[in-house]
Amino acid sequence: MIITDVVCPFCGCLCDDLVIEVENDEIKTVRNACKLGASKFLKHKKNRKKKPIIRENGNEKEVDFDEAYDYAVKLLLNSTRCLIYGLSNTSNEAIEYAVKIAELLRGYIDNTSTVCHGPSVVSYQTVGYPSCTLGDVKNRADLIIYWGCNPLNAHPRHLSRYSLYPRGLFTERGFLDRKLIVIDVRETDTAKIATKFLRIEPNKDYELISAMRAILNGLEIKQEKIAGVRIEEIYEVIDMMKSCKFGILFFGMGLTQTYGRDRTIDNAISLVIDLNKYTKFSIMMMRGHYNVTGANQVLAWLTGFPYAVDFSRGYPRYNPGETSAVDVLARREVDSAIIVAADPISNFPRESIKHLLSIPYINIDPFYNLSARYAKIYIPTKIVGIEVEGTAYRMDNIPIRLRKVIENNELPSDEEVLKNIYERLIENEDIIEKRYCVRSAE
């Protein structure tokens, strides 16, 4: 059986033109996907478990799903402050239940943007987000800038589907109608094919953006080099920016995780706003996990805030740096956690991991990853976009429905697991309520 128009659940590009050949519920061929996307489909059976695992006194035992839900609920009822973290590799439907659990338990809820594009989110709340869709980029953009990102490694089909190569409505000759500028600290694969590559010194992004804005606003710069880039090259890039018909600035972690963080992004967005005095210019984040944008969106529409939400006062509070997962773990404020479709142990700071390992936590993930190996209880699930349908947001905030390619009747989906836990918690609402009454009386 050949299934067409399959959406790839790997990166934020959400390529929706995959053609997959399935034989006896086995994926045989994946067409139109890059190496990363194809490997997710072809190797989806690797590193999976069929039953939940509970760890007690150093022993592991396999249990059935009902027992696992009861155990998870008991664990949550015995804790006073819970953290829900992850959510970027699952569907919006599952994220909705995660928010409901966080609200019911008056805990914290955070997604993986806290350690990647969190500063970008903070910035666009401050100065706005003059963005567009990837369709606009394909049809209109004649100047593409990649700043602090390497899409040919992280989003391999980004250039061929959306930015540099596609033949669009006003860019009929494809790459012949476009120019590519790459700004990075090293000569990446993307930089090798760029029309113009600016190599900047690490952590000097803010300086370079400020210089560009100064030039755009008519000031003269007397230094010979800014951030390691010769001033003539900066003028050349500014001329390219001012003379294009439609420009787009894509930025990645190279910009969000350098010194200045959200202030650097503030400055980059302001640069784009300044450029709009001359021509049409947009900015877009290069989102990593396929539904990290969805995690921000769902949290924003349900709580009012995109990440790092604290329900401890009974209403949503948001203060990244105080209520974000890394910080609440480092301050040892939580005594239980639910990790959904993420692997914090492999990428969180040491202090946060130390506390996470000292508390009982529930891991809900299709794959048996590093965090699952230390969880008090691990619940395996279906893979969204391969074994179950779901909705995800592309990096330009466009919702796309992911398709089911093969059957898996052995496991529940992330949504079903979270729904079961939520419903069982609701049955014990009086216990939870009593706990908060006591806490507020104190």
332-369: burial string, b at 16+ Cβ within 10 Å, e else: ebbbbbbbbbbbbbeebeeebbebbeebbbbbbbbbbb
> Which of the residues 27 through 56 are near another protein (CB under 8 A)?
29-39, 42
Distance CA 295, CA 101 (A): 15
Q: CB under 8 A: which stretch of 135-143, 160-168, 405-413, 429-437 binds another protein?
A: 160-168
Contacts of 133 (CB under 8 A, 6+ apart): 396, 397, 398
Assess 22 for contact with another protein (CB under 8 A): no
Interior angle at CA 395, CA 416 and CA 422, nearest 5 = 20
> Which of the residues 115 through 154 are near another protein (CB under 8 A)?
152-153
Assess 160 for contact with another protein (CB under 8 A): yes
* Backbone torsion region of residue 183, taken as left when φ is above 0, otherwise alpha when ψ lies between -120 and 50, otherwise beta: beta
Q: Which is nearer to another protein, 106 or 178 (CB)?
A: 178
CB of 136 to another protein, least distance (A): 18
Among 54, 72, 94, 159, binds another protein (CB under 8 A): 159
Q: Which is nearer to another protein, 189 or 322 (CB)?
A: 189
Distance CA 149, CA 192 (A): 13
Q: Which amino acid is at 246?
A: F
Among 161, 213, 376, 394, binds another protein (CB under 8 A): 161
Distance CA 69, CA 342 (A): 19
Q: Which is nearer to another protein, 33 or 395 (CB)?
A: 33
Which pair of structure tokens corresponds to residue 126? 């401050």
CB of 18 to another protein, least distance (A): 9
Q: Which is nearer to another protein, 20 or 269 (CB)?
A: 20
Q: x-or-dash pattern for another protein, window 176-215, by CB under 8 A?
A: -------------xx-xx----------------------
Distance CA 113, CA 12 (A): 12
CB of 158 to another protein, least distance (A): 8
Which pair of structure tokens corresponds to residue 76? 């949550």
Assess 157 for contact with another protein (CB under 8 A): yes
Interface with another protein (CB under 8 A): 2, 4, 17, 19, 29-39, 42, 152-153, 156-157, 159-161, 165-167, 174-175, 189-190, 192-193
